[in-house]
C-alpha cells in the first residue's frame, strides 16, 4: 500500500508538514517599498486612463500610483478607498489581467503592464497596517437600512451608507462576514486572515452591526425587513449548484468545488484535509481553476480539469489557466461528463464524452473516454436560490433566475435594492459587487434623504 504522497483514495497528509505553508503562501508577495517605487515610476499618468475606465469601481489609478511615487502611500490608499472600500481584497483577487492591467498602455507598448494590482495592495496595506481611517460618520440621519449578506456587495453598501450617517444592520447567513472573500477565494490569494481584517477595517467606521447566522428566508423574511427598516439592500451570493447531469453523480467522492474551497478556507490544519490522489474538476471558470490548483497544492498526484468547450471559451482568464498549468494541473477541453463509475459506493472512474460544435450547438461525438479518479469536483456554475425571497415572489421580479434591478440597483419591490452575484447582469467579480453595493447605497441615500439632503 502506497503511503504519503501516493496514498490511494481520498486522504490527508500527503505532503510533509512544511510543504503546506509553502504551497499556500501569498501567490503574489507584497511589493516592498523599493519595489513599489520602481513599479510606480513605470506609470505614464495617462489622460482619461484606460486602466481607470477598465476598473468596475473606477479607481483613479494614475493618481494613486503617482501618490505612491511621491511618497504618499496613505494618500494613495484614500484615492483607492474613495471608490472601493474593499480595495485591499480587490488588489489581491481581481483578475487584473483582464481589467486594469489589460488596458494599461504599457501592455500595448511593451507587453508588460504596470503592476496595478500589486501597487494597490501596497498602498492599502500601508494604510490598513497603520489603522488609518479616512471616513467618519456625520450626524446620525435616523434612518435604518437592512443589508442582507456581508459579502463584498453588502459590505460596500453598508460602508457607503454609514458614511452618509445611516444605521445599518447586516444579516449574514454564515458564521463569519466576508462572503466569498472569506469562503470562496483561493487561499493563496488571501493569506493571513485578510478577509476578516478587512471586515474589521470596513466596519470600524461605526454604525454597522453584523448579525451572523441569519439567513434570509430562514431566520428573517424580506417582507419583515422591508417593514421594519427604511430600506433593504439584498447582497446575497449564489446558493444553488448546477447539477452535473451525469449518471451516478451521487457517489461518494463527488463534491461541489465551492464547498471544497470553503472547507479549505476554514480549516486550520491543511495537512488534515483529505484530498484525492486523482482529482478531476469539471468546469472552466475561476472556481474550477481555484479548486484544481488547491487540490494539487494539497498533494493530489494527478489533477485534471475537464471542460466541455475549447480553451477560448473558458471563463477563467489565460493567466489563471497558465497558473493552473504551472502548478501541474492538466486542462482538457471538449469533454463532458457522462457517468461516474463507482466501486463500493465510491467514485473510481469518470466516463466522459468528447464534444464538438454542430453549428451553434455543443454536441457529444459519441466517443468516450474513461479516466480513473478518486475525487470529482463540480465547478459548473452556481445559481441564485430564489426561494430565499419566499413570500415576496410577486413583488420582486427575477430575470434569468436572478433579481432584476434598474441602473441604480433598485428592485421591482419598493424600498428594496440589490447588488452583487444575486442580481442579473453582473459578472461574478468581487470588484463589480463592490461597485454595485456602493452605487446602490448612493441611490438608497438619495431616496431616504429627499434628493441627498439629510
Partner 1 sequence: MADLRSNFVGIRSPNPFWLASAPPTDKAYNVERAFKAGWGGVVWKTLGSEGPPVVNVNGPRYGAIWGADRRLLGLNNIELITDRDLQTNLREMKQVKMNWPDRALVASIMVPCVEEEWKAILPLVEETGADGIELNFGCPHGMSERGMGAAVGQVPEYIEMVVRWCKQYTRMPVITKLTPNITDIRKPARAAKAGGTDAVSLINTINSITSVNLDTFSPEPSIDGKGSHGGYCGPAVKPIALNMVAEIARDAETYGLPISGIGGVTTWRDAAEFMALGAGNVQVCTAAMTYGFKIVQEMIAGLENWMDEKGHRSLSDIVGRATPNVTDWQYLNLNYVAKAHIDQELCIKCGRCHIACEDTSHQAITSMVDGVRHFEVMEDECVGCNLCVNVCPVEGCITMQPLHAGEIDERTGQPVSPVYANWTTHPNNPMARTAAE
> Considering only 33-41, 253-261, 299-307, 411-419, which stretch makes contact with partner 1 by CB under 8 A?
33-41
d(C-alpha 308, C-alpha 377), whole Å:
15
> Residue 47 or 361: which CB sits closer to partner 1?
47
> Residue 37 or 398: which CB sits closer to partner 1?
37
Among 4, 22, 29, 45, binds partner 1 (CB under 8 A): 45
For residue 283, give the 3-state DSSP assignment: coil
d(C-alpha 312, C-alpha 417), whole Å:
35
Is residue 105 involved in binding partner 1 (CB under 8 A)? yes
d(C-alpha 430, C-alpha 92), whole Å:
10
> Residue 38 or 318: which CB sits closer to partner 1?
38
Residue 426 makes CB contacts below 8 A (sequence gap 6+) with 402, 419, 420, 432, 433, 436
CB of 374 to partner 1, least distance (A): 49
Map 291-348 to HEC letters: HHHHHHHCCCCEEEEECCCCHHHCCCCHHHHHHHHHCCCEEECCEEEEEEEEECCEEE
d(C-alpha 248, C-alpha 347), whole Å:
9
- Per-residue contact flags (x/-) with partner 1 for residues 49 to 88, judged by CB under 8 A: xx--------------------------------------
Among 3, 21, 58, 108, binds partner 1 (CB under 8 A): 108
> Residue 42 or 404: which CB sits closer to partner 1?
42
> Residue 6 or 45: which CB sits closer to partner 1?
45
CB of 318 to partner 1, least distance (A): 21
Among 7, 14, 106, 143, binds partner 1 (CB under 8 A): 106
Residue 394 makes CB contacts below 8 A (sequence gap 6+) with none
Instruction: Look up cell 460602508; give the residue.
Output: 159
Is residue 360 involved in binding partner 1 (CB under 8 A)? no
> Residue 108 or 356: which CB sits closer to partner 1?
108
Is residue 133 involved in binding partner 1 (CB under 8 A)? no
> Considering only 104-112, 137-145, 286-294, 440-448, which stretch makes contact with partner 1 by CB under 8 A?
104-112
> Residue 109 or 357: which CB sits closer to partner 1?
109
d(C-alpha 51, C-alpha 160), whole Å:
24
> Considering only 6-14, 35-43, 127-135, 201-209, which stretch makes contact with partner 1 by CB under 8 A?
35-43
Name the grid cell of 262: 470553503
Residue 295 makes CB contacts below 8 A (sequence gap 6+) with 260, 275, 276, 279, 281, 303, 375, 377
Phi then psi dihedrals of residue 195, to 5 deg: -60, -40
Contact 403, 422 (CB under 8 A): yes
Among 1, 32, 47, 312, binds partner 1 (CB under 8 A): 47
CB of 42 to partner 1, least distance (A): 8
CB of 49 to partner 1, least distance (A): 8
Among 11, 12, 28, 42, binds partner 1 (CB under 8 A): 42
CA distances from 400 to 275, 384, 397, 425, 426 (A): 35, 10, 10, 9, 12
> Residue 106 or 402: which CB sits closer to partner 1?
106
Runs of H (alpha helix) within 116-192: 116-129, 152-163, 180-183
Is residue 48 involved in binding partner 1 (CB under 8 A)? yes
Region of residue 238 (left: phi > 0; alpha: psi -120 to 50; beta: else)? beta
> Residue 18 or 48: which CB sits closer to partner 1?
48
d(C-alpha 153, C-alpha 57), whole Å:
12
Q: Give the interface size with partner 1 as a residue count (CB under 8 A).
A: 15
> Considering only 38-46, 82-90, 242-250, 378-386, which stretch makes contact with partner 1 by CB under 8 A?
38-46
Is residue 46 involved in binding partner 1 (CB under 8 A)? yes
> Considering only 39-47, 269-277, 315-323, 397-405, which stretch makes contact with partner 1 by CB under 8 A?
39-47
d(C-alpha 427, C-alpha 332), whole Å:
24
What is the binding site for partner 1 (CB under 8 A)? Answer: 37-38, 41-42, 44-50, 105-106, 108-109
Amino acid at each position: 500500500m502506497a503511503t504519503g504522497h501516493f496514498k490511494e483514495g481520498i486522504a490527508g497528509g500527503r505532503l510533509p508538514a512544511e510543504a503546506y505553508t509553502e504551497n499556500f503562501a501569498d501567490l503574489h508577495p507584497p511589493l516592498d517599498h523599493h519595489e513599489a517605487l520602481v513599479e510606480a515610476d513605470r506609470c505614464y499618468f495617462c489622460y482619461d486612463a484606460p486602466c481607470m475606465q477598465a476598473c468596475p469601481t473606477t479607481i483613479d489609478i494614475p493618481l494613486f500610483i503617482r501618490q505612491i511615487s511621491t511618497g504618499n502611500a496613505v494618500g494613495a490608499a484614500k484615492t483607492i478607498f474613495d471608490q472601493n472600500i474593499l480595495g485591499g481584497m480587490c488588489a489581491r483577487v481581481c483578475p487584473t489581467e483582464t481589467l486594469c492591467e489589460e488596458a494599461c498602455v504599457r501592455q500595448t507598448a511593451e507587453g508588460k503592464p504596470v503592476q496595478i494590482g500589486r501597487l494597490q495592495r501596497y498602498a492599502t496595506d500601508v494604510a490598513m497596517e497603520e489603522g488609518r481611517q479616512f471616513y467618519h460618520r456625520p450626524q446620525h440621519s435616523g434612518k435604518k437600512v437592512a443589508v442582507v449578506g456581508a459579502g463584498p456587495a453588502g459590505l460596500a453598501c453598508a460602508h457607503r451608507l454609514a458614511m452618509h450617517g445611516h444605521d445599518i444592520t447586516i444579516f449574514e447567513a454564515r458564521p463569519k462576514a466576508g462572503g466569498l472573500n472569506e469562503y470562496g477565494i483561493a487561499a493563496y490569494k488571501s493569506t493571513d486572515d485578510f478577509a476578516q481584517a478587512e471586515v474589521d477595517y470596513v466596519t470600524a467606521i461605526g454604525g454597522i452591526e453584523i448579525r451572523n447566522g441569519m439567513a434570509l428566508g430562514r431566520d428573517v423574511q424580506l417582507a419583515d425587513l422591508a417593514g421594519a427598516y427604511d430600506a433593504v439592500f439584498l447582497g446575497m451570493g449564489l446558493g444553488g449548484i448546477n447539477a452535473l447531469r451525469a449518471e451516478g453523480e451521487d457517489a461518494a467522492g463527488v463534491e461541489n468545488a465551492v464547498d471544497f474551497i470553503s472547507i479549505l478556507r476554514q480549516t486550520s490544519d491543511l495537512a488534515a484535509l483529505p484530498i484525492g490522489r486523482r482529482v478531476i474538476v469539471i468546469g472552466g471558470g475561476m472556481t474550477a481553476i481555484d479548486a484544481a490548483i488547491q487540490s494539487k497544492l494539497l498533494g493530489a498526484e494527478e489533477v485534471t480539469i475537464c471542460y466541455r468547450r475549447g480553451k477560448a471559451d473558458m471563463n477563467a482568464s489565460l493567466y489563471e489557466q497558465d497558473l493552473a498549468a504551472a502548478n501541474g494541473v492538466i486542462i482538457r477541453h471538449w469533454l463532458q461528463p457522462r457517468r461516474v463509475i463507482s466501486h463500493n459506493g465510491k467514485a473510481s472512474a469518470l466516463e466522459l464524452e468528447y464534444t464538438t460544435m454542430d453549428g451553434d450547438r455543443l454536441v457529444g461525438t459519441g466517443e468516450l473516454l474513461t479516466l480513473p479518479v478518486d475525487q470529482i469536483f463540480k465547478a459548473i456554475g452556481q445559481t441564485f436560490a430564489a426561494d430565499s425571497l419566499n413570500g415576496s415572489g410577486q413583488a420582486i421580479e427575477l430575470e434569468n433566475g436572478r433579481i432584476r434591478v434598474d441602473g441604480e440597483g433598485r428592485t421591482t419591490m419598493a424600498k428594496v435594492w440589490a447588488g452583487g452575484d444575486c442580481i442579473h447582469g453582473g459578472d461574478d467579480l468581487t470588484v463589480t459587487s463592490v461597485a454595485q453595493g456602493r452605487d446602490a447605497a448612493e441611490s438608497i441615500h438619495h431616496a431616504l434623504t429627499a434628493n441627498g439632503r439629510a
